[in-house]
Amino acid sequence: AAHVLGLGAGSDRLVVATTVSSRLVGRIAAAHGVQFVEVPTGFKWVARAVLDRPELRFVFGYEEALGYAVTDRVLDKDGISAAVVAARLIGSLRAAGSGVEEALATLAERHGLHATRTLHLRMDAADGSAAEVVARVLDVVPSSDDRRVLARASGTEAMAKVYLEVVEPLAGGSADHLVARYRAAASRADVILDQLEGAARACLAAG
């Protein structure tokens, strides 16, 4: 999103992401002063948000299941166009003597490192309904400013889906050690995600 937004200008640009996607997308959009819309899970809602706002220029759509749209010519998951944009980004980074990890570290320094994890909690009849499991998870694993827990019942399987996100700031230090600080923050975030996952799975086991 940051790369695509950096290629143009104007507050009439539109970025769309699903509710369970990382909050980083919205923060990047806000930093660029463009319109950001959050929609329900499912890429069809991304397309609908674009069609409902013809006065805006759609530039980026995203969902947590690795669905990307980078042009309004294809209002659906478009891995081919996204791969072309990614290749161009990598090429420009290399030409500047940098790389993907350095670019991610720069974003993390500005907005915090956003680490996410999705859990698929399968259930049997003894566990209760998926909605009951979702309620237990949200009660035991609450959200806060630096961590977010979303859960929903699967519409097709006996399963609860839990979406975890941790925002970890980069510790202070020099620009020369930016990547090392990024890696340290990622390690701290992984520990917290492990703790949240353990608590979520314990809810199912205790049911």
> pLDDT, tens digit, for every residue of 159-180?
888 899 999 998 777 777 899 9
* pLDDT range class, residue 182, cuts 50, 70, 90: very high
Say whether pLDDT at 3 is over 70. Answer: yes
pTM: 0.88
**In the prediction, which pLDDT does 122 show?**
82
Q: What is the overall mean pLDDT for the chain?
A: 89
**pLDDT of 28 higher than 90:** yes
Q: How far is CA 191 from the centre of its chain?
A: 18
Instruction: Report d(CA 36, CA 132) in Å as an integer.
Output: 32
Residue 82 CB neighbour total at 10 angstroms? 21
Question: Helices 178-206 and 100-111 sit at what angle, rounded to 10 degrees?
Answer: 70
Q: Residue 65 — very low, low, confident or very high, per pLDDT cuts 50/70/90? A: confident
**pLDDT, mean of residues 124-139:** 70
* Domains of the chain (ranges, CATH numbers): 2-98 (3.40.120.10), 112-206 (3.30.310)
More confident residue, 150 or 55: 55
Q: What is the pLDDT of residue 199?
A: 85
Contact in structure between 29 and 5 (CB atoms under 8 Å): yes
Q: Could you please report the per-residue DSSP string of 2-28? A: HHHHHT---TTEEEEEETTS-THHHHH
> What is the separation of C-alpha 24 from the centre of its chain, rounded to a whole number of angstroms?
6
Strand positions, DSSP E, 133-202:
147-153, 159-168
